[in-house]
Amino acid sequence: DSLLLTSTLRNALATTDVTVSTANGAGTGGGKISVVSPLAWTSTHGLTLNADGAILLGQPLSAGGDLTLNAAGNISALSEVRVGGTFTLAGGNWSQTGALPTFAAQDFRLAAGTFVRASGGDGSASAPYLLADVYGLQGAATLPSSTWYSLAGNIDAAGTAAWNAGQGFAPIGNGDHPYAGTFNGNGHAIAGLAIGRAGSGNVGLFSVLGTGTIKNLTLDGGSVRGGVNVGAVVGAAQAGG
């Protein structure tokens, strides 16, 4: 296991990118990385955490540059996380439910793993995930297509224009996994959603709608661009969707 000495990290990040890795191998540790004191740096250099086990962000983290997390297990963030560059989830299961600490990133990329950020619920029909911000909304693209969601309030998605190298928000679901749950906007709006995938088909907030239901939702402003089968809310709907 690794407990990070933030003073050492800050000094290194002032001049270069830093990667911290653990390898469980035949050792006795669990391959866990824990940030146990506040960590902040203002340079544009990036920090990568590669854990053979879990990652714990137990104290506030403020990155001037990029932050990449790659875990074989769970990722827990108990305090605020602010990323001035690109936040990338390269692996692991990020989970935040209940009272949500602040999260903000200039660019937000979910390359692998799962990302749950909800103010309540468990994603079931009886207790849908309660989505409170655009990061939790984007996390829906990493979860099973049968997951249920409700919006806790209006969502500001204007920042998505800078995500994924200008491609913006990554649509939820696809042809292999069409959305089959229920998404209830509860009368709220998603404002400023940006998707720019001119070379792709089935482009919208939801890429492909299967047997699922989307209701009580408004999209306010924003821009959705794609190749074929493009819609603000749904790119394509399968028979019965």
pLDDT in tens, 46-71: 999 999 999 999 999 999 999 999 99
pLDDT, one tens digit per residue, over 69-114 is 999 999 999 999 999 999 999 999 999 999 999 999 999 999 999 9
Average pLDDT, stretch 169-190?
97
Q: Can you give the pLDDT at residue 241?
A: 58
Query: What's the confidence (pLDDT) of residue 25?
Result: 52
Between the alpha carbon of residue 36 and those of residues 79, 87, 214, 215, the distances in Å are 11, 20, 41, 42
End-to-end CA distance of the chain: 47
Residues with Cβ within 8 Å of residue 61, at least 6 apart in sequence: 35, 38, 39, 40, 67, 77, 79, 80, 81, 82
* CA angle 233–90–111, rounded 5-degree value: 25
pLDDT at 7: 85
pLDDT at 15: 96
Ramachandran assignment for 136, one of left (phi > 0), alpha (psi -120 to 50 degrees), beta (any other)? alpha
Q: Give the predicted TM-score (pTM) of the model.
A: 0.94
Query: So what's the pLDDT on residue 30?
Result: 80
